[in-house]
Amino acid sequence: MTFSFIAFMDMLLFVVTLAFIIYVLINYKKYTDRSVCNILLVLSFLFLFNSTSNFLEWSGITGKLDRYEDFIDVTIPIVWGGLIYLLVKSILMRRIKKSEENFRSIFNNTFVGIVAFNPDGEIFNVNRRFAEMTGYTSAELCKLNHINITHPEYKNLCISRKALLLDGQIDSYSIQKKYIRKNGSVFWGDILVTPIKDENGKVESLVGIINDVTEHINMGSYLNTNDRMEILGQLAGGVAHDYNNKLTTIMLNADLLLNSISPESEARQYIDSIIKSSITMKEITNKLLAFAKKGDFKRTDINIADTALDVADILTKEIGKQINTQVIIDTKRTTVKGDPSQIFSAIYNIAINAKDAIKGNGKITFTLDESMPKGVEGEETYLRLIIHDDGEGIESDIRERIFDPFFTTKEKTSSTGMGLAAVYGIVKKHNGYIYYDSEPRKGTSFYLFLPYK
Amino acid sequence: MFQESELIALFISLCVIILGVIYNKHLKSVPHYKMLILAFMLYSLSLISTVAEGFLLFAMFNAIEHISYLLSALMLFIWCSMLITSERVNK
């Protein structure tokens, strides 16, 4: 009874194992991990041999296969161990792969740029965002030194901070600096650099996390200027109004005095001088009033394209062929509501500044298109006039003050410093916006936004 | 009496169990790991029965050995098919 039962069990084992082998072979390609699949096949073949040997022995057919049984008996648990080892290894590898995929996904999809470089500054890994910021591909960046994409103004700062970090005097450093894109343009980045150390505490590499703050910086200076201009405008407006009244009295009385004395009188030249000075002062006061958004204001249709063409024409006549002017009109709607003389004055003042910024030969471009000012939301549409010159640019230390009344970098005798202040007031009075973008020795662009309504 | 190979197999099997206990945390991540462990435990039981049959209750332990061997193969087969199914679902 026992004999037949055992033989039956072995026969069943043979059938199950055979089915197992066939199943594994059929589904061989469906297994992700082939090494596990192979070891399962080995195990099942060993089972098959064992069941065959036992069946033949217990059914009394032959005991010849019994001589291999010792080997099979020892091999089966080893293969079991191998199977468990491979499964654990496979799980660990999948986890590592998954973790790496997650890390790679975070690394590439974060909104900050990440760059890894060795202590010499040679880049060896960057994320997608940093490549987008710089305009280079990841492969191109990995051939560059971190200093190559740093603006020359900040190279020494970076080198000194990195030296302190490598020396162990600081744990990390954070600076705001300018980067140079592949196309030569510049962007501002806040960078935090931290070291990656080996087990001995030696710095192996450095990781920089960069946030593009160009827009914030431009916007920030623009908002600060806006607030300051409002206060200055109120002050200037109050002073200019009273000043204008007194100046009118002086000019009227000087005129009366001039008419009351004989034409041969010596005093006439002094009175003429008073009148001339008063006229100059009147012009300054009018600009001050314009800056303060006060004074006379007409509201008619102004064709900005025509105004830009007129200004370009006057400029060409004034300066000859030394400076080229170009007007690009990239919009069908070129008319806004406002005071034509004030708008002309604003555009002309910017153009004069552009001309003065060019030393030698150069070019001034007027570009007219439609665009929304930065940070402005709503349905209102704006006409944008960009006045670009390829002159000396504006130095960073004076950028915040260029719209201030009486601020000038020119000779005091040739400029009152009211030009851009008046432009600012005129644009504001027309519910418009003005800001600028400048690179020393590369040029300046002024952006005038005027609403259509 | 028992054979040396049976004792060696039992010893290796115990080592594999220890390995399983050490990597218990990772082993739990294997799909349907309980079925796999059950298959191995049944196999180990067959080894214990093989050794035990040499000392006492030969007929009973011999029967247990062959039954557990069969069930072990069956469990491994089931686990293998479940593994294929779960991989197909994951894909």
Q: How many angstroms separate the CA atoms of B52 and B58, rounded? A: 8
Tokens 């032959």 found at: A62
pLDDT over threshold 60, residue A413:
no
A222-232 pLDDT, tens digit each: 555 566 666 66
A290-332 pLDDT, tens digit each: 666 666 667 788 899 898 888 888 888 777 677 888 899 888 8
Amino acid in position A191: I
* Per-residue pLDDT at A1: 42
Please, what is the average pLDDT of chain B?
Answer: 85
Q: How confident is the model at residue A373 (pLDDT cuts 50, 70, 90)?
A: confident
pTM for this predicted structure: 0.48
* Per-residue pLDDT at A367: 92
Would you tell me which residues 7-46 of chain B have a C-beta closer than 8 angstroms to some C-beta of chain A?
A: 8-10, 12-13, 15-16, 19-20, 23, 26-27, 29-30, 36, 40, 43
Least confident of A202-206, A371-375, B81-85: A371-375
Give A216→chain B minimum CA distance, Å: 45
Which among A128, A132, A214 has a CA at the least distance from the CA of A181? A132
Q: How many angstroms separate the CA atoms of A440 and A424, rounded? A: 22
Contact A372, A382 (CB under 8 A): yes
Interface with chain A: mutation pick from B46, B71, B77, highest number of A CBs within 10 Å: B77
Q: How many angstroms separate the CA atoms of A134 and A185, rounded? A: 9
A74-102 pLDDT, tens digit each: 888 899 888 888 888 888 888 888 889 99
Q: How many angstroms separate the CA atoms of B27 and B40, rounded? A: 13
ipTM over the 0.85 cut-off: yes
Which two structure tokens, joined as six digits, stand for A238? 């109050």
